[in-house]
Chains A and B, each alone.
Chain A
Amino acid sequence: MLAGRDGHASQKAMEILVALGRIYGAKRLVRVSSVQVSGVSYKNLGDAGLEFLDELAKDGRSRVKTTLNPAGMSLTDWRTQGIDSHFAEKQLEVVDAYRRLGVEISCTCTPYLAGNEPRFGEHIAWGESSAVAYANSVLGARTNREGGPSALAASLTGRTPLYGLHLPRNRVPTHTVDVEAQLRSSEDFSSMGYFVGKSVKDGIPRFRGIRKAGLEDLKTLSAALASSGGVAMFHIAGLTPESALGGKKTEELTFTPRDLAETEANLNDRGTPDFVSVGCPHCSLGELKTLARLLKGRKVRKEFWVCCSREVKRKGDAAGYSRLILGSGAKFATDTCMVVAPIEEMGYKVVATNSAKACHYMRNSGLRVRFMPLEKCVEEATRSR
């Protein structure tokens, strides 16, 4: 492939992988069973990025199961989302290039809820930092934090350099976190992740003192750890599959009730929300069920986005949840989310959400944020102005 016998795209892809392997001291490449590609929003790619993908799509083809991160808009309902037609046209061209490359147009940050669920011990190459942390920590699959092009390179060759988190010796904890705060909701897991990510940076924290954690808790914890820090893997003693790994001396820290309260307070800016959104990372079916229960028979009075994958939305349709959610006036934002869609250009100023990760990135786009539990988000959206 490196010599170009399999075409230009495979050659370029192999050049990327070999260079990364040399930088990080990999002895060889390893086959991957699945890939998640980031770098989809036209807002980030621009015309040059689109041109790059078009060039690769001439003779490039995915060799393994490959799914895609969210785009900058819903692929079907962008008009009602208020997206301008130039942006939409370009965004659809980006998605079309990925389609020609053989990538599944899943457009979700939770591939593990939409049919891309690697098994324990499998080598994979994923972009999307929250999904990377989830795959390593909760599923026990093995991936480094890939960027858009390096994940795509793995897809076009079916391989990735063997270094970093692909090797068991690099998966042991570097920090021990004693959790003294009571974690009462998924939002508390989100706050904890945001707090811990800041101190451990790209380390591997091992949490002690958590008795149970559901899918939604782990999903939002993964996202928060990876947004305030560069965490690609964590362990929870007694709960996650590799939590018995050890051997390195770890740095100790605690997460106290006070840390929880302060983190929450720090994620709240001034102002009354004019936009409410849940689903960062994309909602699970369980969250749609909760939303359906809370929104049943009520009307939202503010723009309210429920972000999820098409796959989860379809299940929500079948279970009758979507009807109740839509009946309230809330909108589904499939294929996209409040972080990658150009919300700030649509005139909104203050966003209420239940995700610390979303707060982090929306602040970077110049929005003010209010961090609150899912139930409170629904209250905020349904109460009169």
Chain B
Amino acid sequence: MRLRGRAIYDGRAEGLSLISASPMSFYGGVNPDTGEVTERGHELQGESVKGRVLVFPYGKGSTVGSYVLYRLKKNGVAPCAILNAKCETIVAVGAIISEIPCVDMLDIGRIKRDVDVKVDGRNVLV
């Protein structure tokens, strides 16, 4: 299946999908040293975003979240790409400063968990 969105940060990546149907908060929600989702009650709590194509509708929470994405990248535990329904400031800025390929305006409901996903610019191959 081929999906076409809008490139927020242009790049290429390939990895296994990790899906969250609910929005994600990186500040206080993801451990910047390990990549583990720590937000209490979140559907991905306890899972690691490391190396995954992370799929979620949009970001929420504190704008410090952009720096958390950057810390994940520097610590080698960042997602390899981010796919959103509608990107907002926190994730967009985080992806740009961390140089993580990021695409939005996607029908993310069509992507299943643990499948191989290729990202190339605005194109997403599932």
Name A's B-contacting residues (CB within 8 A): 12, 15-16, 19-20, 22-23, 38-39, 44-49, 51-52, 127, 145-150, 364
B67 at the interface (CB under 8 A from A): yes
Interface SS of chain A: helix
Do residues A46 and B63 form an inter-chain contact, with CB atoms below 8 A? no
Q: Which residue of A lies closest to B33 (CB)?
A: A46
Q: Is the CB of A23 within 8 A of B88?
A: yes
Chain B: minimal CB distance from A126 (Å):
12
**A345 to B74 alpha-carbon distance, docked (Å):** 26
Does residue B50 face the partner (Cβ distance < 8 Å to A)?
no
Cβ contacts under 8 Å, B6 to chain A: 22
Q: Is the CB of A15 within 8 A of B96?
A: yes
* B63–A146 touching, CB < 8 Å: yes
Indicate if B56 sits at the interface (CB-CB under 8 A): no
What's the nearest-Cβ distance from chain B to residue A138, in Å? 22
Assuming the contacts A23-B92, A38-B63, A44-B64, asked whether A149 and B71 have C-beta atoms less than 8 A apart, the reply is no
B9, B63, B75, B97: the one contacting A52 at CB < 8 Å is: B97
Check A49 against B8 for contact (C-beta < 8 Å).
no
B67 touches A52 (CB 8 A): yes
Cross-chain contact of A49 among B28, B67, B92, B104 (Cβ < 8 A): B67
Count of chain B residues with a beta carbon within 8 Å of a chain A beta carbon: 25
Contacts of A48 in B (CB 8 A): 32, 67, 70-71, 73-75
Task: Report Cα–Cα, A185/B60, bound state, in Å.
Answer: 33
Minimum CB–CB distance for A313 against chain B, Å: 27
- Tell me, in angstroms, the Cα distance from A127 to B89 when the chains sit together: 12
CB distance from B92 to the nearest CB of A (A): 5
Contact check, A150 vs B93: say whether CB atoms are below 8 A apart.
yes
Residues 6-20 of B at the A interface (beta carbon under 8 Å): 6, 8-9
Are A12 and B97 touching (Cβ within 8 A)? yes
Q: Is the CB of B97 within 8 A of A16?
A: yes
Contact of A23 among B32, B65, B73, B87 (CB under 8 A): B87
The verdict on A49 contacting B96 (CB below 8 Å), with A44-B27, A146-B63, A147-B63 known, is no
- Per the bound structure, the CA–CA distance linking A340 and B86 in Å amounts to 31
- Indicate if B44 sits at the interface (CB-CB under 8 A): no
- Chain B residues with Cβ below 8 Å from A49 are 67, 70-71
User: Contacts of B88 on A, CB cut-off 8 Å?
Assistant: 23
- Closest chain-A Cβ to B39's Cβ sits at a distance in Å of 12
Whole-angstrom distance between the alpha carbons of A379 and B21 in the complex? 49
Nearest-CB distance from A228 to chain B (Å)? 14
